[in-house]
Amino acid sequence: MIKIDHIQKQFEKNEVLKDINGEVNKGEVVCIIGPSGSGKSTLLRCINQLETPTSGAVWFNGKDLTKETAQQLSTLGESIGMVFQNFNLFPNLTVIENLTLAPIRVKKMSQTEAKKIGMKYLTRVGLAEKADAYPASLSGGQQQRVAIARALSMNPEVMLFDEPTSALDPEMVGEVLQVMQELADEKMTMIVVTHEMGFAKKVADQVWFMDGGYLLEKDTPKEIFDHPKEERTKDFINKII
Ligand code: ADP
Ligand code: MG
């Protein structure tokens, strides 16, 4: 479904992604791990075209996203959902308004239809009763579940998560991972940047280890965690577990 094809990304003289290659099949969960500054967020942003790679291609269902026009991308953009570390909810909108904004504006959906779909996803993340609340009145875990429901409201084919639990108090991490696990069980294609090694072990089909702009090692969770081949991977895993 997604093929990352010799992606390189440079900011000024700083090369932050160095010849990244990888494939994600439909229904797979890929967890990306690695130290801070290794390029994980930049890679996700290159996949959904928040950043344009300096060279290389991102194939999505056979189309090279880096070659699509802005208008084509806005259509395609509906197919890639993104969840950020800091939720990025619109603070001046209620929960349900957060969910219906893009379907109404981008998909030209009617208010009634968008609300119906929004409520479906809010129910799915266990927050139907918060539809009319404002984000600030919710806990971090609830806000992140709303952010997931908001991404799902656009009916994405792939969901990208950038450290979705890193900003949460420890007692709220579980409820967000639970929702993500359920999505994986339903065969949603997902790319998840995370430090939650338990989640990666249990849920990932592939784990990618990034360091210094390189995708140094990619394998099954079992191989990466039990038999890492690269010294850097070993060091990282020993430190984090
Ligand atoms: P990670 O998510 O693994 O912590 P990032 O992808 O955020 O890593 O960052 C990788 C490197 O790219 C860092 O050195 C960071 O400073 C740099 N970087 C990221 N975004 C930008 C940007 N917009 N402009 C300049 N440098 C950036
Ligand atoms: Mg990051």
Q: What is the pLDDT of residues 160-203, one digit of tens each?
A: 999 999 999 999 999 999 999 999 999 999 999 999 999 999 99
* pLDDT(70) > 70: no
CA of 115 to the centre of ligand 2 (A): 32
Q: Using 50, 70 and 90 to split pLDDT, how confident is the model at 62?
A: confident
Ligand 1 atom 17: residue of nearest CA: 16
Which residue carries 């570390």 as its tokens?
85
Q: Please answer whether residues 163 and 177 qualify as being in contact, where contact means their C-beta atoms are separated by less than 8 angstroms.
A: no
Q: Using 50, 70 and 90 to split pLDDT, how confident is the model at 32?
A: very high
Atom of ligand 1 nearest to the CA of 213: 10
Q: Using 50, 70 and 90 to split pLDDT, how confident is the model at 121?
A: very high
Note the Cα 132 to chain centre separation in Å. 26
Angle (CA) 49-102-188 rounded to 5° is 65
CA of 7 to the centre of ligand 1 (A): 15
42, 48, 161: residue to mutate for ligand 1 pocket, most atoms within 8 A of CB = 42
- Distances in Å between the Cα of 66 and the Cα atoms of 16, 29, 111 are 18, 23, 32
Q: Using 50, 70 and 90 to split pLDDT, how confident is the model at 67?
A: confident
pLDDT in tens, 208-222: 999 999 999 999 999
pLDDT score for 78: 64
Q: Using 50, 70 and 90 to split pLDDT, how confident is the model at 68?
A: confident
pLDDT in tens, 150-162: 999 999 999 999 9
Residue 155, Cβ neighbours under 10 Å: how many? 13
Q: Is 40 in the pocket of ligand 1 (CB under 6 A)?
A: yes
CA of 41 to the centre of ligand 1 (A): 7
Q: Using 50, 70 and 90 to split pLDDT, how confident is the model at 69?
A: confident
Q: Is 213 in the pocket of ligand 1 (CB under 6 A)?
A: no
* pLDDT(76) > 70: no
pLDDT score for 122: 98
Average model confidence (pLDDT) across the chain: 95
**Could you list which residues have their CB under 5 Å from ion ligand 2?**
40-41
CA 10 to CA 181: how far, in whole Å? 34
Atom of ligand 1 nearest to the CA of 12: 25
CA 48 to CA 52: how far, in whole Å? 9
Pairing of strands 55-60, 206-211: unpaired
pLDDT score for 72: 73
Q: Is 16 in the pocket of ligand 1 (CB under 6 A)?
A: yes
pLDDT score for 240: 83
Q: Using 50, 70 and 90 to split pLDDT, how confident is the model at 53?
A: very high
Q: State pTM to two decimals.
A: 0.95
What is the value of ipTM here, to two decimals?
0.98
